[in-house]
Amino acid sequence: MEIQAVFLGHARVGEVMRKILSHAGVTLEIYTGVEAAKRSMDRRPPALVIVHFHSGAEKWSDLLNGIPSTGSNRPAILGLVPRRLLGREAGLCRMCDEVSALPLDAGEYVPLAMELLGMRRRRRALRVPLDSLVTFQDEKGVFFLRGRDISCGGVFIEMDHPLEPGTPLKLSFELPQPHGGHMVCTGRVVRAVEPGQGRVAGIGVRFKGLDAEQKRMLNLLAEQAWRTMEGAQRANAWPGEDEGQVRLLAELELQLQQSDSLCSALLERLQLLESRLLIDHWMGNAPADDRKMLALDAVCALSGCSSAAFYRKDSTGLFLLDSARHVSEPVKWPDSFTRAESDATGGLAAINLPGGPDVLVRPSPLDGAGLAIAVLA
> What is the Cα–Cα distance from 77 to 219, expressed in whole angstroms?
33
Q: How far is CA 4 from the centre of its chain?
A: 19
Q: Is residue 278 part of a domain?
A: yes
Same domain, 298 and 345: yes
Bridge partners of 351, per DSSP, are: 359
What distances in angstroms separate CA 266 from CA 12, 20, 165, 174, 372, one per listed residue?
18, 10, 31, 42, 24
Same domain, 10 and 109: yes
- In terms of Cβ atoms closer than 10 Å to its own Cβ (0-12, 13-18, 19+), residue 327 is exposed
Q: Is residue 355 part of a domain?
A: yes
Q: Is residue 313 part of a domain?
A: yes
Same domain, 32 and 94: yes
Could you report the per-residue pLDDT of 3-36, keeping only the tens digit for each? 788 888 877 677 777 776 776 667 888 888 888 8
How many Å is the maximal CA-CA distance in the chain?
Answer: 81
pLDDT of residue 287: 58
Same domain, 201 and 277: no
Same domain, 111 and 138: no
pLDDT of residue 82: 66
Q: Is residue 158 part of a domain?
A: yes
Same domain, 301 and 369: yes
Q: Where does a domain end: 117, 136, 170?
A: 117
Spell out the SS3 assignment of the chain: CCEEEEEECCHHHHHHHHHHHHCCCEEEEEECCHHHHHHHHHHCCCCEEEEECCCCHHHHHHHHHCCCCCCCCCCEEEEEEEHHHCCCCHHHHCCCCEEEEECCCHHHHHHHHHHHHCCCCCCCCCCEEEEEEEEEEECCEEEEEEEEEECCCEEEEECCCCCCCCCEEEEEEECCCCCCCEEEEEEEEEEEECCECCECCEEEEEEECCCHHHHHHHHHHHHHHHHHCCHHHHHHHCCCCCHHHHHHHHHHHHHHHHHHHHHHHHHHHHHHHHHHHHHHHHHHHCCHHHHHHHHHHHHHHHHCCCEEEEEEEECCEEEEEEECCCCCCCCEECCCCCHHHHHHHCCCEEEECCCCCEEEEECCCCCCCCEEEEEEC
Q: Is residue 254 part of a domain?
A: no
Q: Is residue 260 part of a domain?
A: no
Q: Is residue 44 part of a domain?
A: yes
Domain of residue 86: give its range. Answer: 3-117
User: How many Cβ atoms from other residues are within 10 Å of residue 78's Cβ?
Assistant: 24
Termini Cα distance of the chain:
54
Q: Where does a domain end: 82, 97, 117?
A: 117
> What is the Cα–Cα distance from 241 to 237, expressed in whole angstroms?
9
Could you report the per-residue pLDDT of 261-309, keeping only the tens digit for each? 655 655 565 555 555 555 555 455 555 555 555 555 555 555 555 555 5
Domain total for the chain?
A: 3
Same domain, 198 and 96: no
Same domain, 223 and 304: no
Q: Where does a domain end: 59, 86, 117?
A: 117
Query: Do 137 and 122 contact (CB within 8 A), yes or no?
Result: no
> What is the Cα–Cα distance from 184 to 69, expressed in whole angstroms?
29
> What is the Cα–Cα distance from 336 to 340, expressed in whole angstroms?
10
Q: What is the CATH number of the domain that holds 28?
A: 3.40.50.2300
> What is the Cα–Cα distance from 204 to 209, expressed in whole angstroms?
17
**Own/partner pairs, 334-341, CB within 8 angstroms, 24+ separation:** 339/375
Same domain, 299 and 210: no
Same domain, 13 and 112: yes
pLDDT of residue 142: 86
Q: Is residue 286 part of a domain?
A: yes
Which residues of the chain fall below pLDDT 70? 1-2, 12, 20, 23-25, 54-57, 68-73, 82-92, 100-126, 197-198, 225-377
Q: What is the CATH number of the domain that holds 170?
A: 2.40.10.220
